[in-house]
Amino acid sequence: MALKGQTLAFIGCGNMGSAILDGLLDATRSTSSEEARISRFIVSTKTASSATQLQSRFAADEARVSFHSDYNVEAMKEADIIILGCKPYFAEAVLGQEGVKEALAGKFVISVVAGKTPQVLEEYIYKGSAPTPKPYVVRAIPNVAARVHESMTIVEDNPTLPADLADILGWIFEQIGKVKVLAPELFNVGSMLVGSGMAVLSVALDGILDGCVYEGIRRPDALEMAAQGLLGMAELLRQGEHPATFRESISSPRGCTIGALVTVEKAGVRGSFAQSVIDGTKRLQ
């Protein structure tokens, strides 16, 4: 049975946390509090100015969401589900606060903190002395496209997670895009792909735009056309077309496309992109 009427707390609510909150508020806006999977939201930020800015942004939903600064332990106590969204270097200090271990006992903790495994986070909480009952700690990594509800979120597989919690975990991130469950040993490279891959690809896009400007197209116009081209390519790939097949289908003998492809292949671009994923994954580990 799906959980209903849950309270969700955000511990840290920067760009990613606010994107998730925005998606969840949209998904539950037309649902009664009795029927909504999540009926109440609590946001704890590091500074009062951040809480004030978020309160202004989400003013239309003030009946369902409250914003506080330095309210971590209290928010954890009040919530059924906790999304840990602080910076990675703050995680130990946040989870090591007095009262956190007791506040999280039996709760569902979802971490969107990069580079911190559930085991590491649990050590920050327990310090060798686990509470009873233990919280369920899982990790998930959305990407920046959560802002437009087009994220690809990676969720680490956890066979011990109860079915109702697994269900609401998937539902939460489906409100901001697609969800893919990966085995723990693949989680870092998956995170690199969906979280950093777009940044790496943007370098190639920037170069293509430079070429268009050089040939006389205004950069905003080139960007508009390129963005639509990327949307079309993404849909073709989503439908199962292989990148090599895609390239072959638009490469005519002695044509401009094959000429452009030969140029980038001579520069070793393919190997550089592959190495960027390998290096980024090592850095994340």
> How do residues 183-200 score in pLDDT, each as one tens digit?
999 999 999 999 889 999
Q: What is the pLDDT, as a whole number, of residue 1? A: 54
Render pLDDT for 235-256 as a digit per residue (tens, 0 to 9): 999 999 999 999 999 999 999 9
Assign 241 to helix, strand or coil: coil
Distance separating alpha carbons of residues 122 and 117, to the nearest angstrom:
9
CA dihedral in degrees (15, 20, 21, 23; nearest 10)? 120
Q: Is 14 assigned a ligand-binding role in the annotation? A: yes
Domains of the chain: 6-182 (3.40.50.720), 190-283 (1.10.3730.10)
Q: Is 152 assigned a ligand-binding role in the annotation? A: no
Structure tokens at 40: 């109440």
Render pLDDT for 4-45 as a digit per residue (tens, 0 to 9): 789 999 999 998 899 999 989 988 887 766 678 898 999 999
pLDDT of 260 above 70: yes
Q: What is the pLDDT, as a whole number, of residue 11? A: 96
Q: Is 72 assigned a ligand-binding role in the annotation? A: yes
